[in-house]
Structure 1
């Protein structure tokens, strides 16, 4: 009976999590490179170029692709002929591997996991515990798949218990537009069909662990109904015109994966789990002979894409920015921001609300300032900050009126804003700008200095002041209320309508 040493499993999990923090799977990079070459939307092409450039930078620099280094999910198929040589539980051993990966001083990963989720929401500081799924299988091998799933894409998970006669295709096409762009397309859709509610959800997540092979599938043709469904959904979801970062374009999904399971005659449970542009998963096997460490990828397989600012991009000085200048920005304008900007996200906004409710003033003056929704990775070496990509802006929608009343000129985040927020921006004659989700290391290179301004105890959620130089953003909502996350996909959907 093969004996799996505790240390071998710990070292293998730790190595895998470090590996996927800065190496995209090669199948994803190839598929995204193909999408870049096909893309006709200038905004989407620019976004994909940033993601690909960021991918190479992260691979070379061994720094995270995205500042949200994810909640760890582990799928274990444990051979029944194997024994774990440990006095600890399998969960505890895997979590020790997670802990070592996230606290690695050479490449610390952001700890995003909070305990007591309904109430105190205290950060566990080491990104544990992970979510572990275990299946006992015949054989003498332990097969492990490790994934790190960002909150932006995880939060867009959808589930419905369909009637047996309902169309899965219709439900998916109705549902995907409601997911917005917070899941950072282009990515993948994982779909689970059948079983029970929880089984469908797990299958949807597990399906995303398979390599991207849509081009190969289309080339050889489908061999069963599920493969036909994958192709149909791939074509019809892309025909929605959502595009990279929700800006409108040809490619929203690179692949659609489906797993199914027998279900009750009265039921048809269906789940969708999207995977974002920071796709992170890896697979290894243990046989009792030592740890399994992942091989280094061949960076020559990365597409020869190097993002540079659009020659028509407008340079904006944040230190002298006025409401009049903001009012002149047009939807889709690409800007390069330089000067001092504030940061803040969920926890900081809540603190500000609590202060105002008590009749107190915030510790920072927001008048005529720009705020960036971000929670960066800790810096290493001579870095000012670690990877610092945008977080999903819709979570801050409920604070928009409050912050605009405090004098903000503009906000920077990722994904769309809700209707009331767009209306509020128009009423205040202010703007919302998007940075590219999945380009965190690239964005961090634009940050020249950083200092804490308030709420230092919140760590990465504190309010900082960044001094930036040529930070790339796109005008998503203008002072007139024009919204590219509505107009961009609509225009491309009309252009692609014959497909649907």
Structure 2
């Protein structure tokens, strides 16, 4: 019988959530560097360089890789010979209660606060729980006396793109997966890893896909030695076919949409092939550890060799510097899709909740709390600032969620442009063209680096919305790529990406 203190489990999970918030797995960094070095598409290469710079800054600065610090997803394999006890002699608590305490402790850590994203009452008030609880617990009872833990911080951009289908036995699994990729768009922030779960039941297939994401990236080794199983053959086929789509980094085109494909299977009913896919984004965050009763787990910073040679900051000589404080529609007419800009000046922020309030005020004929005339809106919900920061990590959120508000704002407020990530829908592109506006893409997954280009932040409306309040940011050389120009040309449309 192995005895483990419940306090050690809480401390270990809390520390792990903190650690992975700023530390990419080394294998992911190495795979991203290989993809960057091989890339020939200018916009995609620029995006991957920003991801690499951000990764280096985060591991050195101990600040989140992405502003979406994810939901806490904890996978526990509990041996039947493990016995829990309390150091403080209090009654034993449930695993769920322990996971919640660890999540609360990690996300409210004053030295590195993480953004609380979880909302309660999803069909009603949708109020933020403020501490990212409850954590999501997955527990498997096994033989022996081992306590194995996998701690994951999974962002919404990846999980929202999950797909499931029950195929017929004669259907081609690879063909079905390939058909899903364009509709998934770029909101999951490629390049990343795609998990494929096949077999069992719908919920088990999806869990297989999810868990497969947290294995080391090894597609190059697999390709070198050759496939030995059906699963390995499918991995290689999907890797080649997905990257041949040229969706590329951030959906900007290019050679690397996935860095690896994982396939996991279980037996299933003879009349079905349950298939699920789940992507993992450029903010890949997970770690495994065991507890043996000797105290909490310790997480040491990995060797910095994987980050050696990555620049301290992002800089592109061909980028055009732009002062957004003095922009006019005539000036943005000259911007072309794929062009990199460095923005300076003052912009506003707004996400889903703020957009809803703005549109509701306009519908009632009421004045807005801030003028949008000639302004840019950045779709972002930043992490809280610490230690003199102007703002915490502040990367873009998925823009398609704001599509339904665009025509109203462009037609009634004089809004000049928008900044976000991933593609826009056809109606939104038409509206941008109609109003001679522009949509700029910032790199999803480069939140800490982007925050360093924000020199001042102030909440100016809807303070009760927390991270979704309207802020005014002052920028200095904030990097973006022209994704939809004033003539309605879209960089994502060029690479056959379309939202669902």
**Could you state the TM-score of these two structures normalised by the residue count of structure 2?**
0.97
Matched, 1:270 2:262: no
Alignment match, 1:81: 81
Name the count of aligned residue pairs: 490
Alignment match, 1:232: 237
Deviation at 1:358, TM superposition (A): 2.2
CA contact (8 A) 2:168 2:273 kept: yes
**Where do residues 160-199 of structure 1 align in structure 2 (5 Å cutoff)?**
160-199=165-204
Selected match of 1:487 from 479, 494, 497? 494
Which deviations, in whole Å up to 9, do the C-alpha atoms of 1:77-124 show, x marking residues without a partner?
Answer: 101110122521001111111111111100000000000011111111
Alignment match, 2:48: 48
Task: Find runs of 4+ consecutive structure 1 residues off by over 3 angstroms.
Answer: none
Selected match of 1:340 from 343, 346, 351? 346
Alignment match, 2:417: 410
Matched, 1:386 2:404: no
Matched, 1:362 2:387: no
Alignment match, 1:320: 326
Which deviations, in whole Å up to 9, do the C-alpha atoms of 1:365-408 show, x marking residues without a partner?
Answer: 00100110000000000101000000000000000011112111
CA contact (8 A) 1:80 1:138 kept: yes
SS in 1 for 2:182: helix
Q: 1:237 to 1:437 in 2, by over 3 A?
A: same
Deviation at 1:259, TM superposition (A): 1.1
Selected match of 1:438 from 426, 442, 445? 445
Distance 1:132 1:341 in 2: 39
CA contact (8 A) 1:29 1:303 kept: no
Matched, 1:219 2:247: no
Alignment match, 1:496: none
Distance 2:24 2:292 in 1: 26
SS in 2 for 1:451: strand
Selected match of 1:253 from 240, 247, 258? 258
**Where do residues 114-129 of structure 1 align in structure 2 (5 Å cutoff)?**
114-129=119-134
Alignment match, 1:302: 307
Matched, 1:14 2:14: yes
SS in 2 for 1:161: strand
**Where do residues 33-182 of structure 1 align in structure 2 (5 Å cutoff)?**
33-85=33-85, 87-182=92-187
Deviation at 1:303, TM superposition (A): 4.7
Alignment match, 2:358: 352
Alignment match, 1:454: 461
Deviation at 1:313, TM superposition (A): 1.1
SS in 1 for 2:55: helix
Which deviations, in whole Å up to 9, do the C-alpha atoms of 1:149-169 show, x marking residues without a partner?
Answer: 111111111111111111111
SS in 2 for 1:411: strand
CA contact (8 A) 1:30 1:303 kept: no
Q: 1:437 to 1:303 in 2, by over 3 A?
A: farther
CA contact (8 A) 2:53 2:314 kept: no
CA contact (8 A) 1:410 1:432 kept: yes
CA contact (8 A) 1:242 1:488 kept: yes
SS in 1 for 2:60: helix
Distance 2:197 2:300 in 1: 31
Q: Which moved more, 1:380-389 or 1:304-313?
A: 304-313
CA contact (8 A) 2:374 2:414 kept: yes
Selected match of 1:330 from 328, 333, 336? 336
Deviation at 1:488, TM superposition (A): 4.2
Deviation at 1:489, TM superposition (A): 5.7
CA contact (8 A) 1:247 1:489 kept: no
CA contact (8 A) 2:56 2:310 kept: no
Distance 1:488 1:257 in 2: 24
Alignment match, 2:89: none
Distance 1:436 1:305 in 2: 17
Which deviations, in whole Å up to 9, do the C-alpha atoms of 1:269-304 show, x marking residues without a partner?
Answer: 111100000000000101112111222201122252
Distance 2:113 2:209 in 1: 29
Deviation at 1:7, TM superposition (A): 0.8
Distance 1:47 1:264 in 2: 43
Which deviations, in whole Å up to 9, do the C-alpha atoms of 1:21-40 show, x marking residues without a partner?
Answer: 00000010011011111111
Which deviations, in whole Å up to 9, do the C-alpha atoms of 1:345-372 show, x marking residues without a partner?
Answer: 1000011122122221211100100110
Deviation at 1:207, TM superposition (A): 0.6
Q: What 5-or-longer segments of structure 1 have no aligned partner?
A: 491-500
CA contact (8 A) 2:359 2:409 kept: no
**Could you state the TM-score of these two structures normalised by the residue count of structure 1?**
0.97
Provide the aligned C-alpha RMSD in A.
1.0
